[in-house]
């Protein structure tokens, strides 16, 4: 199990790397994170929802993802409330106080232990990921994710610290010092992550940490930017607040407050013809040739926000100037004439006008659609892949062309013209056919057709190589054996 001194220290990526290492070494690993809080989710083959990070880790382990890998998923709908997804299905919304403080969460803890046990009966080793810090004293007795779960699993547990944040000695020593003797018994070592420069310069630091904590520093991982693994949290988007550049097709993804599934744009971002950036600045939207409104966990709230901050007008102006405007999932809903919420699924607002760029109307519904899909984009013979995660039904106000057609004859989205369309399909931009279609009006350069899956496999292998080169794997295996 990989736990942290705090959030965003690199646990998810390290977990993915170890999933690949164990697979390479002939084992049948699977990832597990008891509770995840993220707006970035994925759908299993049987239509259940889990955190995208565990889907990525399962991909690294070369096994199908399943909801038992992430039995509790919290999807924030606003600053105080989250949708709770249990065993792949939403079970309602709860405030942070209700979820974390109003009960001892014994039922949830039982559910995550059962999920782990089911997984452990079929895979070995289970590579577990913790959440946030393991030394939150006011929450530890209610913890269902970190060391109580490690104790149930009998997991060899490693503390990950981000040296790039600064204060690594205080964060590591303080974290260990606040553990109980029973919790300390789970701990087998320390991993220092995101070290810049020559790791030999930290040899005395390693020794000091080992003396302070009584735990071995099993590895010092370098800060890297040349290995591309899908990120779990939108914290990583801060690195993508770029601007328009000359000589590329500039693509602006609207930076919504409750933006979900930002990994929808990873493949498009890697296209050499493209400069993709996230923004909520009207001036930067004006500089783009293509504007994409992404998914949202609170469509009505985000629709109100972009109307109030000038972004909606900037999108409308871009459309008026003949630029491409595309909506995905919540963004598709925003492009329509109106969004209705008669059942108060998202808010107390029962109806809100949309951008009015597509002749469609959305009614939000309590039932969530979650499924993987194969489809044909605008009638092309090539088969594409994607997935749906949405709580709403969108209907055309007058007949139009769909964006996608499914094998069973169902249709998705509304295609007004080559520069204005919307779809519910996450992952639609993972398909080269679709990317080429939206870039065609802006460049004569031809896209490089390649297997995105093969590319991701190469990245997992590179990550595994980096971990092997900088972590004492012999010590890791000895700890697991014990």
User: Could you give the residue numbers annotated as active site?
Assistant: 329, 426
User: What sign for the dihedral angle of Cα 137, 138, 142, 144?
Assistant: negative
State how far the Cα of 441 lies from the Cα of 375, in Å rounded to an integer: 23
Strand, coil or helix: what is 211? helix
| Spatial contact of 218 and 190, defined as CB atoms under 8 Å apart | yes
State the residue for tokens 């609207």.
Answer: 254
State how far the Cα of 407 lies from the Cα of 414, in Å rounded to an integer: 18
Crossing angle of helices 11-24 and 52-61, in 10° steps, is 20
State how far the Cα of 413 lies from the Cα of 433, in Å rounded to an integer: 17
CA angle 142, 145, 147 (to 5 degrees): 85
Cα-based distances in Å from 42 to 62, 83, 229, 332, 351: 16, 15, 15, 18, 28
* Cβ neighbours around 282 below 10 Å, total: 18
State how far the Cα of 426 lies from the Cα of 140, in Å rounded to an integer: 36
Beta strands in 280-382 (DSSP E): 290-293, 295-296, 324-328, 338-340, 351-353, 360-377
Query: Maximum distance among all alpha carbons in the chain?
Result: 72
- DSSP, residue by residue, 237-267: GGGG-----TTSEEEEEE--TTEE-GGGGHH
């Amino acid at each position: 199990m990989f736990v942290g001194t705090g959030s965003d220290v690199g646990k998810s990526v390290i977990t993915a790397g170890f999933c690949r290492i164990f697979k390479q070494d002939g084992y049948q690993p699977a990832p597990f994170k008891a509770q995840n809080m993220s707006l970035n989710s994925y759908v299993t083959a049987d239509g259940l929802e889990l955190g995208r990070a565990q889907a990525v880790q399962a991909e690294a382990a070369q096994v199908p993802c399943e909801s038992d890998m992430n039995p509790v998923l919290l999807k924030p709908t606003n600053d105080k409330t989250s949708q709770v997804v249990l065993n792949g299905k939403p079970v309602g919304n709860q405030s942070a106080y209700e979820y974390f403080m109003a009960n001892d969460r014994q039922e949830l803890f039982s559910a995550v232990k059962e999920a782990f046990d089911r997984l452990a009966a079929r895979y070995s080793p289970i590579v577990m990921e913790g959440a946030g810090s393991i030394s939150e004293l006011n929450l530890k007795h209610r913890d269902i994710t970190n060391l109580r779960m490690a104790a149930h699993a009998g997991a060899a547990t490693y503390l990950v610290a981000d040296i790039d944040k600064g204060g690594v000695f205080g964060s590591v020593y303080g974290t260990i010092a606040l553990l109980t003797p029973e919790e300390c018994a789970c701990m087998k070592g320390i991993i220092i992550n995101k070290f810049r420069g020559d790791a030999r310069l930290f040899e005395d630091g390693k020794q000091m940490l080992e003396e302070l904590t009584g735990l071995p520093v099993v590895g010092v991982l370098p800060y890297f930017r040349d290995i591309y693994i899908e990120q779990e949290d939108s914290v990583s988007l801060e690195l993508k607040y770029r601007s328009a550049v000359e000589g590329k097709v500039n693509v602006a993804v609207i930076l919504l407050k409750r933006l979900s599934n930002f990994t929808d744009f990873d493949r498009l971002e890697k296209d050499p013809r493209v400069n993709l950036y996230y923004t909520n600045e009207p001036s930067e939207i004006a500089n783009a040739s293509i504007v994409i409104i992404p998914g949202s966990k609170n469509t009505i709230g985000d629709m109100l926000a972009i109307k109030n901050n000038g972004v909606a007008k900037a999108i409308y102006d871009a459309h008026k100037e003949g630029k491409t405007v595309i909506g995905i999932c919540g963004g598709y809903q925003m492009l329509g004439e109106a969004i209705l919420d008669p059942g108060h699924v998202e808010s107390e607002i029962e109806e809100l006008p949309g951008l009015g760029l597509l002749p469609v109307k959305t009614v939000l519904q309590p039932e969530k659609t979650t499924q993987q899909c194969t489809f044909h984009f605008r009638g092309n013979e090539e088969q594409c892949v994607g997935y749906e995660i949405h709580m709403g039904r969108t209907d055309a106000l007058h007949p139009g062309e769909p964006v996608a057609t499914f094998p069973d004859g169902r249709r998705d989205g509304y295609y007004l013209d080559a520069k204005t369309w919307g779809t519910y399909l996450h992952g639609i931009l993972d398909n080269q056919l679709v990317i080429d279609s939206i870039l065609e009006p802006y460049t004569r350069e031809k896209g490089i057709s390649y297997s995105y899956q093969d590319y991701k496999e190469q990245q997992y292998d590179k990550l595994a190589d980096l971990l092997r080169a900088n972590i004492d794997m012999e010590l890791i295996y000895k700890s697991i054996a014990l």
